[in-house]
Structure 1
Amino acid sequence: MGRTQQLVEQARAAGRSEQGQDVFYAAAEREVRRGPGDPPHPAEMRRLVLDEDGEPADPVGSAGRGGRRAGGRGGQMAHLVAAVGMGADQVGAEVLIEALTAAMPGVGEQLAAAVRQAEADGTLDTWLAPMSTDPLGRLAAASQEQMAQARGVAGQLGGVGGLYLAYGLGMPDTPALSALRARIDELGLGQLLVAVATSMVNPFRLATVLSSCLVPEVAVVAGMLQALVARHAADGLLHRPDVPGGPEDFMREWLTALGAAATRGDCGTRQG
């Protein structure tokens, strides 16, 4: 059983007991503080990897980590787990909307409408029920068609996340890639995409990613991003107007930059 599922079980055991809820939120705060934290912004990664000058990145949509009933992604995720385990009425629809929007940026309006409709229908706990099952359980219950769609959604998110993350690993920049990253930052999707991209090669996290991609709203995010990539691809994602050559030259330039950084002995560290 994963750590998130363990927290769900703790929230379920807490129920409506104030003392039990205090115990749950304390455990959730410890879990948040124990975690690795948010990934660095690609601009900050690039500054360190290539020893480039510049100010530390402070992207739009970045969020800190919080504890019980506080702001920040950590506190919001605790609210989401509490709603799943204790019942949505213990958290409230508006707080739940904030937590869901933090978990799935870019579809805030769709999520808000779905939560408010479910609350009006008296079916909010039923709407949340799929989130109370562990990832492997959700995958086991999915049909072949649903699994195929989830894999496609995960591939789309991971691919866009890879493009976003690669800038931090020294990939040459282009006007189209720069515009794509800027839009991702405006939407607040950067951390989500990096998490998916890195989880796609981690067998311990892959099940969680695939189960999340069974959620229709996540497919909406993936479709929106694919349309965004297609729009910028028309300008040549891996092509710079002032530099001749094709993708092979682009890759050669990237490897050369990484090799130069490694030769200087500062790949991953900043000397100063």
Structure 2
Amino acid sequence: MVHLVAALGLGPQEVGAEALAEGFAALGMFGLTAETWEQMLGAAERGEGPPVPWELLGEVDALEQVRRVGDEELVRARTVLIGLRSFYAIYMLHGLFMPDTPGLAALRARIDERGLGPVLDQVISLGPAPRQFAEGLVACLGGMLDELYEALVEQLAADPYLFRIPGDENGAAGFMASWTQTLHEQADC
């Protein structure tokens, strides 16, 4: 992460392919290793591969990016951003003693297999200021977050019973009772 922040501040060329490769791999970007990233970025630096559009890494003018896209793309990005907020909340609540169910585990797996948990930490804000919302909207204009959203929606359609503990006939009420009990037990420790 330090390498990526440095690239934003100093410029990617100043940080170099090796440091950026480590940063991208640490984030789990596209499931590629640091070595694979370094080969691709190094080839681009040496002119042996397609040039890397470094200007996109430092592009922070969210308003200008939003002005360049059409209404349909903006509506889609808003749908993705709002939808990812819900999925992100569910993802994070697992760490707060929320009972695990097959549906919840499958949703987390879809995020984790793409290595996008840390990206969601940075992009998704559950109570965003206008600038944060604009930046989140830009991040959801197509690309990996749009693909993640689609994968999560597909998973949810395949197993919509997120809050049903197997073997508990009380459904969501049983789920909440179990979670509440666990929270009380943890508070008593």
**Contact 1:106–1:189 (CA under 8 A) maintained in structure 2:** yes
Q: Find 1:163's aligned residue among 90, 100, 113.
A: 90
Q: Is the 8 A contact 1:167 1:173 kept in 2?
A: yes
The match for 1:96 is 20
What is the alpha-carbon root mean square deviation over aligned residues?
3.8
Kindly provide the CA deviation profile for residues 113-162 of structure 1, in whole angstroms up to 9, marking residues without a partner as x. Answer: 986679646642xx232342323332343322221222122233222212
Which of 158, 167, 173 pairs up with 1:242?
Answer: 167
| Rounded Cα–Cα distance in structure 2 between residues aligned with 1:206 and 1:89 | 29
Go from structure 1 to structure 2 and tell me whether the alpha carbon gap of 1:165 and 1:99 turns closer, same or farther (over 3 Å shift). Answer: same
- 1:107 alignment partner in structure 2: 30
- 1:252, distance to aligned residue in structure 2 (A): 4.4
Shift of 1:106: 4.8
Is residue 81–residue 140 contact of structure 2 (8 Å, CA) maintained in 1? yes
CA distance 1:92–1:237, change in 2 (3 Å): same
Indicate the residue corresponding to 2:105 in structure 1. 178
Q: Distance in 2 between matches of 1:255 and 1:150?
A: 33
The equivalent of 2:81 in structure 1 is: 154
**TM-score scaled by length of structure 2:** 0.68
Q: From the CA coordinates, give the structure whose radius of gyration is larger.
A: 1
Shift of the alpha carbon at 1:244?
Answer: 0.3
Classify 1:161/1:143 alpha carbon distance in 2 versus 1 (closer, same or farther; 3 Å): same
Is the partner of 1:242 in helix, strand or coil?
A: coil
| 1:94 Cα deviation after fit | 4.8
The unaligned stretches of length 5 or more in structure 1 are 1-72
Give the secondary structure class of the aligned counterpart of 1:107: helix
Taking a change above 3 Å as real, the CA distance of residues 108 and 170 of structure 1, as seen in their structure-2 partners, is closer
CA contact 1:79–1:99 (8 Å) conserved in 2: no
Query: Aligned in 2, Cα 1:166/1:137: closer, same or farther, shift over 3 Å?
Result: same
Match of 1:221 in 2: 148
Offset of residue 229 of structure 1: 4.1
Aligned counterpart in structure 1 of residue 177 of structure 2, from 253, 258, 270: 253
Q: Which has the higher contact order (CA 8 A, sep 6+)?
A: 1
CA distance in 2, matches of 1:240, 1:107: 32
In structure 2, C-alpha distance between the alignment counterparts of 1:206 and 1:135, rounded to whole Å: 10
Matched, 1:189 2:116: yes
Change (3 A) 1:178 1:92: same
Contact persistence 2:30–2:115 (CA under 8 A): no
Deviation at 1:101, TM superposition (A): 4.7
Of residues 106, 118, 126, the one that matches 1:200 is 126
Return the alpha-carbon distance in structure 2 between the equivalents of residues 78 and 193 of structure 1: 16
Are the equivalent residues in 2 in contact too, given 1:80–1:100 (CA < 8 A)?
A: no
Which whole-Å CA distance do the structure 1 matches of 2:40 and 2:157 have between them?
28
Question: C-alpha separation between the residues in 1 aligned to 2:84 and 2:55?
Answer: 24
1:206 is displaced (CA, Å) by: 2.0
Letter in 2 for 1:209: G
Query: What is the DSSP-based 3-state SS (H/G/I as helix, E as strand, rest coil) of the residue aligned with 2:167?
Result: coil
Sequence identity percentage: 27
